[in-house]
Amino acid sequence: MDKEKTQEEHPSTNEPEKEILEESSEDQINPKNSSEEKEEFDKDTVLKAKLDEAYGLQEDLKGKYLRSVADLDNLRKRSIRDREDAVLRTRAQIIGDLLPVIDAFQLGLSEAQKNKDAASVVAGFSMAMKQMNSVLGEFGLSVIDPSNEEFDPKLHEAIGYEDSPDHDEGMVLKCVRVGYRIRDQLLRPATVILSKKANDETG
């Protein structure tokens, strides 16, 4: 009788043990819950890594594409520039060989102008010279005639000095022979005589 009474007075003595057993039972019944969560986490991690790799590859390919476009554009520009330079060199060589002929033609015109009876010859020479200069001008040839200009050592070649009270010292007083250039390339400098101040001997 006393034993039964004791058990009735303490009915909850076994309840914690029962809860532990139930939790343990649930873990044993659903062991795949934690493994499924881990598997999902692993999939997300792998997917993120692949996305990062794909993005990096995309940026790398984009950079290579832009560099290729820039290289192609530079190659095209360099090809055009090289072709233009080759054409210019060829023209300069041909026209350079013609300069003595042009000089002789100009000299003949100058001599004809001294003869009053050679008006028709002068007119013919002048017209031919004008046509020649027009054709050569289309190829980029220009005449350097620096009379009464400042001396430029890049374009002029001084061969002497003459006294000239009317000019500043170092000015081009006379152009003995004109120079030529084709575009920015000098074919021949102009041959000139420079002015200088006369010596003051009245001291």
**CATH assignment of the domain containing 160:** 2.30.22.10
- Those residues of the chain that have pLDDT short of 70 are 1-41, 198-203
CA distance 29 to 23: 10
Which pLDDT belongs to residue 169? Answer: 86
Percent of the chain, pLDDT > 90? 30
pLDDT of residue 17: 53
Q: Give domain status of residue 3, yes or no.
A: no
**148 within a domain of the structure (yes/no):** yes
Evaluate whether residue 21 is within a structural domain.
Answer: no
How confident is the model at residue 155, as a pLDDT? 95
pLDDT of residue 24: 52
In this structure, is residue 187 part of a structural domain?
A: yes
Residue 202, pLDDT score: 39
Closest CA to 172 of 147, 145, 197, 155: 147
Domain enclosing residue 171, as ranges: 142-197
Total count of domains within the chain: 1
pLDDT at residue 32, rounded to an integer: 56
Question: Would 23 be classed as within a structural domain?
Answer: no
In a domain, 156, yes or no: yes
Asked whether residue 167 is domain-assigned, the answer is yes
